[in-house]
Structure formats: C-alpha cells, structure tokens
Structure 1
C-alpha cells in the first residue's frame, strides 16, 4: 500500500483506524463479503468504479487482519447512521440517484436498477477496453466517432484517442468541440450500428453532448506530448476554438488556485511517492502552496525528499501530475473540493 502524504494538522479530521484509501477499503469490504454478495454489489456500480475497485482487489497482497477489522468497523459505523438502508421505494431510489448524478447520468442507471433493462449500445462501450472502443469506431464516419468520444468518460475518451491516428484525433476533437445537441434519431441510428437499443422509453428531446468543456476534459486526460501536439493543430485550424478549449482545461499548475482546505483534502488522498515526483515538475509558487498546507514537520520531510530525489523523466512527472489531477477531478465531481481552471475566476 502506498504511504499517504502527511496531511495538514490544522483542520484535519480524526483519522480512521485504517490508513487505507477509500478504494482499498471498498476492495477489502467486497472481498470480505464473498463472491456472490460482492458480485451483487458490483452489479449496481458503473464501469469506472468497477475497474478501480477490481484493480485494487488484484493488487491486494497479505492484507493484515487489523486492516480488515478496521474496514468492517468503519463500514458498520457508517451504515448505522443511514436512514435509507433497506428502503423499498422506487421513488426514493430515483430521487437519490438524480440528486447525486444529475438527470442525464442517472437516467440509464435508474432504468437498469428499477426496470431491469439492458445497457444501451453507447453504455456498453463504457465497459470496453479503450483499444477495443477505438477498433469499433475506427472505420465509422467522423461525426459518429465524435459522438461516441463525447459520450465516454473523459479519461476513457482520451485513451481511445491515443489509439487513433494523429489526423483522426484532430478531426474528432474539432467535431467534439463543435457539438451541442444530437437528435434522438441520430442516437438511435448509432445504437443500431452498435446492434444495441436504448434502455427504457425513447426520449423525444435532443441530447446534449460535446462542446468546449467536453473537449477540454478529454484533453486534460491525454498524455502530455499528444495533448500539446493536438492543441497546436487545433489552434492552427481554428485559433479561437483552441483558446476556448485551453481556457477550460484544468492543469497541474491550476492547483495554485485551489483553496487551502481543498489542498489539504487532496493531500490526504495522494501518496508521498506520487506527490514527490509530481512536484519535481512544479514551480516554486506551487511547491510553496503545498508546503504551506502541511504541518511544519511534514513539509520539512517533503522538502528533504525532493532534494534527495534524483533526476526524473518528464514522462514520469507528467504521469504523476495526471494521477493527482484525476484524484482532484474526482473529488471536485463529488463536491469535496472546488477546482478553478485558468479560464475561470473564483468568486
């Protein structure tokens, strides 16, 4: 298990008995349930959650009894306070999911849980390996490719693009940025191509996909050199589009704009090893931001580790920074912290 970066002592909540992160704790809990019960829980999760927890399970080696006990104790303490446990109300479940995920994201999940429907063709792609998705759409019309890429989660979409040619990536991203809504007939046609059907009743409303924000989120997850080359190509064809996408991108340097509480919460989820490598590519201002949100002793230890750490490849620094940004975006999506891109002003 990775050693956690020392959290700021000021404003730090009481630490749980287990020092494992949330994903590792979920993995241990499911492994403790047994195959049948664990499978039933996983059935109600999305592809990204299943992949993360499954990966954590695969890496579990020699889990100590004290960690298992701590996870189970924490779980029991949390569920003891839940008033919705065991509720058999479709309305309750529907309202809960819509509140948590929003109408668009929740609709397919609600259908699968309450109506017992199958996933749509587009939803099925979310469960596939990025290389396989790239193979599926490689020979499709560029507009179909753009709709698919817009529909995927940004990190998966970015990996799909990495398996396509440079020319194809440019064409797709230009179309993603230009997308706004898609008629239901077009989505139905796409599902026919994928030999699937939408779950539940067909909607007569247009579907919002793509746009500058979607393009920026996908760009955020691309490998450094691919991202830079693609951005240069977009600006060559449409400088205004490139600038608008760039303004919406959240990069590692933007962590300077995250408030102290947000930095402190982020540090609790990042391993020391990853943080050290990521900071090797950060300027003094960002490093000072990180140091100031640690206890004096933790900051001194981190400074020493940075000095002792030898040269690090740029690719390793970029990978570490993107890992931290992925955690930051996940926390932002959960409402735990607030991120501000270079094009956004905090009020």
Structure 2
C-alpha cells in the first residue's frame, strides 16, 4: 500500500534575538528554574511577556538550535558584570564603608537595593552592646533591629531586658508591619554607624586577665617577684591580679579540703611525690594541707615515698606542681569544683 507524498514543509523564519531570549526564558521557567525576571526593569519584563505570547509554537529543530546557540554564548563568557549600579552596590556592600554605601544609596534613589551589610555588622556585636544601642532608640526601631537578627539571638536579647521594656518592644512589632525595605535599610545604616564608631579593643582581655594569664604560666619565683612588685606600685591592681592567678602556692587558700581527694585521684602518684619532695620549706604548709585531706594510711605511704626519693631538681618540682595545678584548673573549668576568692 503506498501513501501519497506530502509536500515539503517550508523552513521556519529565523528567530530574532528577542524571540530567542523568550524561548530560553520559557524553557527555564517550564523546567522550574528562576531566570531572575523580577530583577529586570518593568519595561523589559513586559516586553518578554509579549514576545512569549507571540511565539505560539516552534519546531524541535529550531528549539535545539536556540539552546545550542545559548549554550555556546554561555561557554564564551568569561565573566559577567551587571550594568545596574544598584546591583553592583548590593553585591559589594559588605566590602564598602558605611559612608560610601549611604552616599551611593542617596545617589541611586529608589533604584538602590539595600542589602544586609550593616545588619550583619550589628549582629556581630555582643548582647551588652546591642542593648546599649537599643537604649537610645524607640520601641519601633528596636523591634526592627530584633527582626533583623537570628531568632535565637533576638530572643536572648529581649530576654535580658527589663520586663516593661521587653513588653513595649513586643507590642511595637505590630506597628512595623508596613515598614518599607528602604526604611529598614536607613535604620540599618544609622545603627551601623553607631556600631562602627564603637572603639575596638586592642586585646581580647583586660589588663588584669592578661597579666594573670602570664603569671599562671610563669615559674613560682617569677610570679612571686612580679606580684610583690605590683603590690608596691598599685596594690588595688595587684589584688585584682591575684584573684585571677592560681598556682601551686594557692592550693591551701583556694581549694576546699573536701575537693582535694578528687583532685589527687586525677594526679599520678609519681607526680604527687615529686611535687611534695620538691616543695621548698616556706611552702611546706601546702604539702601538709594536701596530705591532711587524704587518709592517714595513704598520707604515711606518700611520706615514706618522699623520704626514699632523691631530691628532685627545681625543674622537675616545677613541672610536677604545674601538673597538679592543671588538674585543678580543668576540674574548675568542668564545674567539678569552685575555687574560693582570695582575701584582699
């Protein structure tokens, strides 16, 4: 059985660049991708809608050609730079100073796309700094600020406020429902300037803690010499430093005798013997304090081992004492004991 031959189909007219763009956009949207049309100017968005509506139908061969051409164009592009200054500003916001961002936003007007640069800077502040910032702001501004923070952080901050202030800020959330993105951006810029003017400390810790950390790592002789010198120069400062310092000679003053058995269980026997054997006569009360906190049988056993041992070198004794201090410090950090505050 033979079929009559059909006339050859006339080739489709070549698509214009606009039509090709419409084909690619329709293909992306049909596949669930977001081509970012909302970022285009309104006139271009309307033009694309009209071009897609006019196409109606294209054959498979034409579609394949358009896709291949589009892929080739993508492959030939090394780097794409947006033409819109507002988009460039949004992309570079985290790298620019607040003064430059503020000036360019004023220059670009309604086309500016405010980002989250200042808010990220504010979110990096500690709770006390954010609370201080909120003290000088209205309830509405404070509500906007909390809304731009991670929920857990915002909850921590509002939970630290006096109850009446927290209640008034919570009520202000209802009055911020219609706030515009531009207004939020301006609030962020204003608060960001406040955070930028805060003095950044040169050190993570204050002078007392820095000196205390050094003395904790120093030998006992150096530690005593420096503390004595501080007493002569600034007794009040020296007293604060002593409160942060904990060394072997502080054991009898700051460790509860009831905690010592647990401490010594974490110390190797040879280390304890070396420390006691190397304790200088003027610090003998510390050895007696530790021995008095354990059973008499164990204390006598340790005394015998100390008597049988040859005197350790100063370095060996210092190392053993530091090991005992390290156990105590770790237990304090783990919450297993509490060191008493030295008397001033």
Q: TM-score scaled to structure 1, two decimals? A: 0.36
Higher relative contact order by CA 8 Å / sep ≥ 6: 1 or 2? Answer: 1
**Which structure's CA Rg is the greater one?**
2
**Could you say which structure has the higher helix fraction?**
2
